[in-house]
Structure 1
Amino acid sequence: MHHDADRCVRAVQSKDARFDGWFFTAVLTTRIYCRPSCPVVPPKPENMSFYPSAAACQQAGFRACKRCRPDSSPGSPEWNQRADLVARAMRLIGDGVVDREGVPGLAGRLGYSTRQVERQLLAELGAGPLALARAQRAQTARLLIETTMLPMAEIAFAAGFSSIRTFNDTVREVFALAPGELRARVPKTATAAAPGVLSLRLPFRAPLNPDNLFGHLIATAVPGVEEWRDGAYRRTLRLPFGHGVVALTPTPDHIACRLSLTDLRDLTIAISRCRRMLDLDADPVAVDGQLRDDPLLAPLVDKAPGRRVPRTVDEAEFAVRAVLGQQVSTAAARTHAARLVTAHGEPVDDPEGGLTHLFPAPEALAALDPEALALPRSRRTTLTTLVRHLAGGSLKVGVESDWDEARARLTELPGFGPWTVEVIAMRALGDPDAFLPSDLGIRRAAQELGLPHTPAALTARAAAWRPWRAYAVQYLWATDEHPINTIPA
């Protein structure tokens, strides 16, 4: 979008928050870059230049606006709509892969050479993987400086910097303030979080309807791993350097996030995974606008706009849970999952109460005895085959996955029909166009609305909803009285 200067100028002049994260405005006279919705008086069009990423602005010598804080914009929805090299690379960079494994590790996960990855990112985003990771480190550092009283040395290494000097230089360059000056700007009246707990605000593009989003997570919550407590969805997180517990509370203009981590180096990836689970980088105006073009879907969209697709913080975990949920009720699926957690999950301490385990990793499940599973024999085979492929690395369903390739690999496994493959594509792979025409709830909703309700006919009608069919699924599911569609009082 940043190539369409006229459209960008209009968005800046109208302070349109819908475009925050889509592009960034660099002001040539002040050498500052802003989000489109910056509250200051817009500069003259001839003094504006547009960039696709904060990293590109920083590479060009611009510093972040202290007023609108463009580094904390919602992420670009572009990276969750696509499965090409650049989009997959951006998801991996958001997941902290460059900080942990370097650019060669990023390229290896994508199956391309380092040079190919750098060239394509530079061409589309105006910055290479190192610059993009550096911009992310700067944002994490700012977050820790402003929300904790940790010593600056601890913040530097938690944010992924290799030295205190690099940390200081980067913060000064990006924000035009020293780390100590950033902390001094925090209001003294700000409420301090409990020791060891980070309190954050996760932004999103409005509107956001939390009912099906949180309702789905709560209704399918695995005891010991997830719970709904005091108005917050809480769950344990398996992370590269340790583990964590997160509490997510919907509010009208942001998601309140409380994080407790055993290692602060996991902060960036924990935030990235929570945003992905709640689909916070979606563009609801674009999604709802296209779905409204169908006169039979339009009333559902108008009644409760801004529905998101509930996803996951752990793609392998969701794939296992999808198999456990085949042809059984939500309650039965939770029971099966809870048994696996008790037998194979890693125990954790939760000072606030009811969370006891991390969901078992594929490696922990690969050696389980099929006879110990209270499942039909065919589903035991499906589950054990799945975890064996996940543990061995021959099947990937993470953020680096090519969606079509992952679908093909899943389809080859015994017991994986179209419904299971597509629900994994929708909630684990994150494909916004995943579709479940054979789902009983979808077919029932379609019939009640006057839509075709046989799988083939519904698929043909849904071609007009592409590439947002996963969102249409959420609107159709919401016509039911099922608990997944409501947040408990």
Structure 2
Amino acid sequence: MTTYSAVRTTGIYCRPGCGARPRAENVTTFELAAAAEAAGFRACLRCRPYRVAGEVSPTSPELVCRAVRLVLDGALDDATEEQLGHRIGVSARHLRRLFHEHLGVTPTQLALSRRAHFARRLLDDSDLSIAQIAFASGFGSIRHFNRAMREVFRSSPKELRDRRRRHDRLLTDGGLGLRIPYEQPYDFGAALSFLAARVIPGVDSVEDGTYRRTIMLDGGPGVLELSVGGPDHLVLVAHLPYWEGLIHVVSRAAQVAGIGLEQPGAWGSFEAGVQLLAVQSSAQSGLGGLVRSLGTFVPGLTHGLAYAFPSAEVVASADVEALGLPATVRELAVRVHAGEVRLDGAASLDELISSLLSIPDVEPTTAHALATRLGYQAAVPIGLSIT
């Protein structure tokens, strides 16, 4: 896990491996860059700590880890800490106390640091305009973006873009290229093997060291490509209808690759649930028919991609048994659409497992396998064999 060294005499914090050699008595260690920033330190210009993967300690309480996942998924983009607390069943005051105690930062400060660091990477990696970067990073206005960047990096976005190093800019053959940092040990080859065994025809594919998949972004189709970029990062090439909310696309792509997780995660939580139910019933072959009949057709794609996976709302009103899938799939869709089964990370592990097991014919191994793919680290790491 990355830790950050903040030097009290200079007001600067660094990542491990930085060439700076401060006196030990002048150094304070933080587990999160956001905590260092909340304490008044600014990022080192030499080691650029915003370019490494920062993770919350797995020893943090489950509720804190769950709230962090929601914050990183954008729970505070258009909501307050009070609303976030309500989603997970605690008061905003209690939530802030837990964050201060275990992370050294408030939920709002964590969200702001997250957006600012992502924007800083876009200023390096891409040629997107400053306005595009602001909205891609989850900021509601250019004014808020400018203020946040000055607060975190002590410079304007233009000044930061002007400091970009020549080799920072990513060149790709179409699409927008972005670095997704990770910490060692991490095995992308193992992640590809895991994903290859779970490919849904028409939706995703693994070829020549690259994972590709279709997505829907607020009603518009897109395609993502993940491959190795270097010893400390993957490269994501995104083909999207627009860049607003790109920060959450990149975050979910990192989850799919299994960065910081026990195993590769899932782009769509409902999609993962349907797939596991199909495996439980030995009905994987029905997934292709489901996608062709109910998915959104995306013309002009290659590498076997042609459809985006259907939503729970669509599947809830479909005759899935005629497509070769068990009736349990439709029941899951009905309950997800009705909000009775919450797959967005807001429910506790016990609540999630209980709601899944209340569906007829859902087995405990399936419920726990889904929880694991959704990032619940306390879930029993058991899954269904897929060959």
Global fold match (TM > 0.5) = yes
Secondary structure at the aligned position of 1:112 is classed as coil
Q: Check whether the contact 2:115–2:137 (CA below 8 A) recurs between aligned residues.
A: yes
1:131 to 95, 109, 112: 109
- Indicate how the Cα distance of structure 1 residues 321 and 418 shifts in structure 2: closer, same or farther if over 3 A, else same: same
Give 1:329-348 correspondences, 5 Å limit.
Answer: 333=284, 335-348=285-298
Superposed displacement of residue 322, structure 1: 0.7
- Indicate how the Cα distance of structure 1 residues 78 and 417 shifts in structure 2: closer, same or farther if over 3 A, else same: same
Q: Check whether the contact 1:94–1:268 (CA below 8 A) recurs between aligned residues.
A: no
Aligned to 2:232: 253
Verify: 1:53 aligned to 2:32, yes or no: yes
Q: Check whether the contact 2:13–2:42 (CA below 8 A) recurs between aligned residues.
A: yes
Q: Check whether the contact 1:103–1:130 (CA below 8 A) recurs between aligned residues.
A: yes
Secondary structure at the aligned position of 1:93 is classed as helix
Q: Check whether the contact 2:13–2:44 (CA below 8 A) recurs between aligned residues.
A: yes
- Indicate how the Cα distance of structure 1 residues 395 and 153 shifts in structure 2: closer, same or farther if over 3 A, else same: same
Paired residue type of 1:311: G
Query: Percent identical across equivalent pairs?
Result: 34
- Indicate how the Cα distance of structure 1 residues 431 and 173 shifts in structure 2: closer, same or farther if over 3 A, else same: closer
Secondary structure at the aligned position of 2:382 is classed as coil
Aligned to 1:316: 270
Larger Rg: 1
CA offsets 1:54-101 (integer angstroms, 9 cap, x no match): 22222222111122222232231535x767221111001111111133
Give 1:71-82 correspondences, 5 Å limit.
Answer: 71-78=50-57
Secondary structure at the aligned position of 1:256 is classed as strand
Verify: 1:414 aligned to 2:360, yes or no: yes
Verify: 1:273 aligned to 2:219, yes or no: no
State how far apart, in whole Å, the 2-side matches of 1:430 and 1:198 are: 30
Superposed displacement of residue 175, structure 1: 2.1
- Indicate how the Cα distance of structure 1 residues 359 and 214 shifts in structure 2: closer, same or farther if over 3 A, else same: same
Paired residue type of 1:174: V
- Normalising by structure 1, report the TM-score: 0.73
Aligned to 1:100: 78
State how far apart, in whole Å, the 1-side matches of 2:299 and 2:72 are: 27
Aligned to 2:67: 89
Q: Check whether the contact 2:205–2:211 (CA below 8 A) recurs between aligned residues.
A: yes
Superposed displacement of residue 407, structure 1: 1.1
State how far apart, in whole Å, the 1-side matches of 2:298 and 2:320 are: 26
List alignment gaps of at least 5 residues for structure 2: none
Superposed displacement of residue 44, structure 1: 1.0
Superposed displacement of residue 366, structure 1: 0.7
Paired residue type of 2:275: R
Tell me the number of residue pairs that the alignment of Structure 1 and Structure 2 aligns.
Answer: 385
Q: Check whether the contact 1:315–1:428 (CA below 8 A) recurs between aligned residues.
A: yes
CA offsets 1:237-272 (integer angstroms, 9 cap, x no match): 334575532111135432221122223222111121
Verify: 1:169 aligned to 2:147, yes or no: yes
State how far apart, in whole Å, the 1-side matches of 2:185 and 2:321 are: 48
CA offsets 1:410-438 (integer angstroms, 9 cap, x no match): 1221111222122212223533552439x
Paired residue type of 1:26: A
Which structure dedicates a bigger proportion of its chain to helix? 1
CA offsets 1:321-359 (integer angstroms, 9 cap, x no match): 11111242xxx51x3111111111123356555322221
State how far apart, in whole Å, the 1-side matches of 2:81 and 2:302 are: 39
- Indicate how the Cα distance of structure 1 residues 256 and 340 shifts in structure 2: closer, same or farther if over 3 A, else same: same
Q: Check whether the contact 1:147–1:198 (CA below 8 A) recurs between aligned residues.
A: no
Q: Check whether the contact 1:32–1:63 (CA below 8 A) recurs between aligned residues.
A: yes
State how far apart, in whole Å, the 2-side matches of 1:242 and 1:117 are: 35
Q: Check whether the contact 1:345–1:358 (CA below 8 A) recurs between aligned residues.
A: yes
Secondary structure at the aligned position of 1:265 is classed as coil
Paired residue type of 1:337: L
State how far apart, in whole Å, the 2-side matches of 1:136 and 1:357 are: 32
Give 1:284-299 correspondences, 5 Å limit.
Answer: none
Give 1:300-449 correspondences, 5 Å limit.
Answer: 309-328=263-282, 333=284, 335-349=285-299, 354-375=304-325, 379-380=326-327, 382-431=328-377, 433-436=379-382
- Indicate how the Cα distance of structure 1 residues 391 and 201 shifts in structure 2: closer, same or farther if over 3 A, else same: same
State how far apart, in whole Å, the 2-side matches of 1:327 and 1:126 are: 46
State how far apart, in whole Å, the 2-side matches of 1:228 and 1:279 are: 15
Secondary structure at the aligned position of 1:233 is classed as strand
Give 1:7-46 correspondences, 5 Å limit.
Answer: 19-20=1-2, 23-35=3-15, 37-46=16-25
- Indicate how the Cα distance of structure 1 residues 354 and 434 shifts in structure 2: closer, same or farther if over 3 A, else same: same
List alignment gaps of at least 5 residues for structure 1: 1-18, 283-307, 442-481, 484-489
Q: Check whether the contact 1:316–1:398 (CA below 8 A) recurs between aligned residues.
A: no
State how far apart, in whole Å, the 1-side matches of 2:299 and 2:82 are: 36
State how far apart, in whole Å, the 1-side matches of 2:300 and 2:94 are: 44
CA RMSD of aligned residues (A): 2.5
State how far apart, in whole Å, the 1-side matches of 2:89 and 2:218 are: 21
State how far apart, in whole Å, the 1-side matches of 2:219 and 2:137 are: 13
- Indicate how the Cα distance of structure 1 residues 73 and 400 shifts in structure 2: closer, same or farther if over 3 A, else same: farther
- Normalising by structure 2, report the TM-score: 0.90
State how far apart, in whole Å, the 2-side matches of 1:139 and 1:422 are: 33
Superposed displacement of residue 147, structure 1: 2.1
Secondary structure at the aligned position of 2:352 is classed as helix
1:111 to 89, 92, 98: 89
State how far apart, in whole Å, the 2-side matches of 1:56 and 1:241 are: 36
Paired residue type of 1:431: Q
